[in-house]
Amino acid sequence: MDPKEVYMSKPWLKYYPEGVPHDVEVPDKSVPDLFDEMADKYSGKAALIFYGKKIKYGELKQLTDRFAAALSDLGVARGDTVALYLLNCPQYVIAYIGALKIGAKITPLSPVYTSKEVKHQLEDSDAKTVVCEEILYDNIEKATVDLDHIILSSISDYLPALKRAFGKSALGKAYSGMQVPTPEHIKQAGLLQFKELIKKYPPQKPDVAIVPSEDIAALPYTGGTTGLPKAAVLTHYNMVALMMQTLAFWPIFEEGKEKIIAFLPFFHIYGQVVVMLNGLAQGATIVLFTTPDIDDILAAMERYQASGFYGVPTLFEYLKEYEKTDRVDWKRLKLIACGADTLQKSTIEAWESRTNSKILEGYGMTETTAVSHSTPFDRPKTGSFGVPLPGVNAAIIDVDGTEFVPVNEVGELILNGPNIMQGYWKRPESYQETFVELEGKTWLRTGDLVRMDEEGYFHFFDRKRDLIKFKGYSVFARHVEEVLYNHPQIKAAGVVGVPDPKVGHIIKAYVVLQSEARGKISEEEIMEFCRQNLAHYKVPGIIEFRGELPKTDVGKISRRELREEAEEI
């Protein structure tokens, strides 16, 4: 069969779990509409549990309506941008839904951003209102951005009384050097207080007509291959579509009955959409953590009998050897999901051996509203990130062209579906390189190199920008990393190509050794190990030992930072 026809036939549909539809109908509703429906239906049920403090759906709806009324009175209108510079906390949910209720759009900022990064995002997103964690206010002030309103929020406002002092102490250590503004400064600078706004305004949201297909819900920023981060434009339609797609793909979840552990950061698209918004859209109870304290998380999973757990590879790599992991009955959970990066085979095998449960991988990007593929819960395949969600079209084309490649050949993944972004904010010039018109559809070029097997399962190889060209050979950085991870004394590894005029790129591996091996294993020993397990052209020409490797906000090794370091030398 012609490669194009294979992709268009969607071979993966044969392996959808029973009851999962091939497509979904996206209702003409906004994100707050879905939330309000659940809040009315389960008003007496806990929506959030924050270190023991419970907030019921009915109460949470009132809080979002109060915040919507406050923003409206402050002059924030439909189409305006509201920035959230917050840690995971109830205020995040309240501010997010409340701002959307008046037709504003959200741009989430990472709490670990420097003032320079904060400045770029605030200015680029046109944000004039910021809801800011008080411990992070220093960076807002240093950013020197012209803002209309700064709304301060304290993590302790929703903590149980016994935990307030501890919460402040923990944040003080985590954000040492950051100063909470004094009452005098708050008054002098005209700063607003979140808790006071909530008290001041009644739970009566303004009557704002939101057009889901046109109104932007969020501007999440994503790092490009070069230059400053740019925002993916996600409408209410994109987000509602993704919620319908994922809920349809996971019929094992029962509306109003699930408990989800939420420690993934809400500023990141994974935590924001998959955990927070999806949880609210199914009437689940979200057990919320500000910091990913492993002991607290494991204890909460058993205490609340959690049914869903969402993590990243570095977390599972840690948990597979952690002494307290066995305190959780992992077999009881309906879903143990991993995203944001690729799981190493060694991690999967060790996890399954220890817990007798399976981690189901998924794939997605900020540009796909977090997800495009997920592993069928009844038919996982090791090494695959699964199959496209209902309503998603997926295909693979030449890395340097637009020809569809045959099954099992590696090429660039392209996607089409209702969850695909509208484009990049203020970057119309990027449209031609980001989207391609094929077969009467507009496809997103993901920049990821993958293959599809005969059953329609997709397998990740590498980012297109991480493909290393050595003497005309194509080398996947991930393939080299996988071999390095098989060395018993290697704890972490990152591989990049260093530009070289003679060979194209020299392969460089940054390696973190297990503590007991440091100073005892040489670079040459690592190279020899690679020679025994890799084709000659894939063997790193440079090995550099490190104590640790740079990581992204969700814990995956940042090849971009390693590549920039290597190119500066």
Instruction: Dump pLDDT digits (tens) for 427-479.
Output: 999 888 899 999 899 999 999 999 999 999 999 988 888 888 888 777 888 88
Query: CA-to-CA distance for 374 and 394, rounded, in angstroms?
Result: 13
Structure tokens of 76? Answer: 């924030």
Query: CA-to-CA distance for 120 and 141, rounded, in angstroms?
Result: 14
Please tell me the total number of residues recorded for the chain in this structure: 569
Strands, E, within 173-246: which ranges?
192-193, 216-218, 221-222, 230-231, 234-235
Domain edge (last residue) among 209, 225, 242: 209
Work out the pLDDT band at 226, boundaries 50, 70, 90. Answer: very low
**Residue 224 resides in a domain:** no
- Expressed as residue numbers, the domain containing 124 is 56-209
Residues 131 and 251 in one domain: no
Residues 383 and 481 in one domain: no
Residues 308 and 358 in one domain: yes
> What is 241-280 written as a DSSP string?
HHHHHHHHH-TTS-TTT-EEEE-S-TTSHIIIIIIIIHHH
CATH assignment at residue 506: 3.30.300.30
pLDDT of residue 265: 94
Residues 407 and 495 in one domain: no
Query: CA-to-CA distance for 435 and 83, rounded, in angstroms?
Result: 28
pLDDT of residue 478: 84
Residues 415 and 553 in one domain: no
pLDDT of residue 176: 56
Query: CA-to-CA distance for 282 and 243, rounded, in angstroms?
Result: 9
Residues 253 and 112 in one domain: no
pLDDT of residue 224: 47
Q: What's the mean pLDDT in 72-86?
A: 98
pLDDT of residue 453: 97
pLDDT of residue 470: 86
CATH assignment at residue 385: 3.40.50.12780
pLDDT of residue 474: 77
Q: What's the mean pLDDT in 212-233?
A: 85
Residues 151 and 281 in one domain: no
Q: What's the mean pLDDT in 318-341?
A: 93
Query: CA-to-CA distance for 391 and 13, rounded, in angstroms?
Result: 11
pLDDT of residue 507: 95
pLDDT of residue 70: 98
Structure tokens of 556? Answer: 């995956």
Structure tokens of 215? Answer: 């109104």
Residues 397 and 302 in one domain: yes
CATH assignment at residue 95: 3.40.50.980
**Residue 35 resides in a domain:** no
Task: Considering only residues 329 and 473, tell me which one the structure prediction assigns the higher pLDDT.
Answer: 329
- The total of structural domains in the chain comes to 3
Residues 302 and 437 in one domain: yes
Decide if 389 contacts 352 (C-beta within 8 A).
no
**Residue 279 resides in a domain:** yes
Structure tokens of 225? Answer: 């291959």
225 pLDDT above the threshold of 80: no
**Residue 46 resides in a domain:** no
Residues 395 and 365 in one domain: yes
Q: What CA–CA distances, in Å, run from 553 to 13, 271, 298, 316, 430?
A: 34, 11, 22, 16, 25
Work out the pLDDT band at 317, boundaries 50, 70, 90. Answer: confident
Residues 274 and 178 in one domain: no
Least confident of 160-169, 240-249, 360-369, 516-525: 160-169
Ramachandran angles phi, psi of 66, nearest 5°: -65, -45
pLDDT of residue 461: 85
pLDDT in tens, 483-507: 999 999 999 999 999 988 888 899 9
Domain edge (last residue) among 462, 485, 504: 462
Domain edge (last residue) among 209, 243, 275: 209
Residues 493 and 451 in one domain: no
pLDDT of residue 173: 55
130 pLDDT above the threshold of 50: yes
Q: How many helices (H) and strands (E) does the chain have?
A: 19, 28
Query: CA-to-CA distance for 331 and 356, rounded, in angstroms?
Result: 7
**Residue 164 resides in a domain:** yes
pLDDT of residue 400: 82
Helix (H) / strand (E) element for 290: namely none
Instruction: Look at residues 257, 234, 151 and name the one whose alpha carbon lies nearest to residue 423.
Output: 234
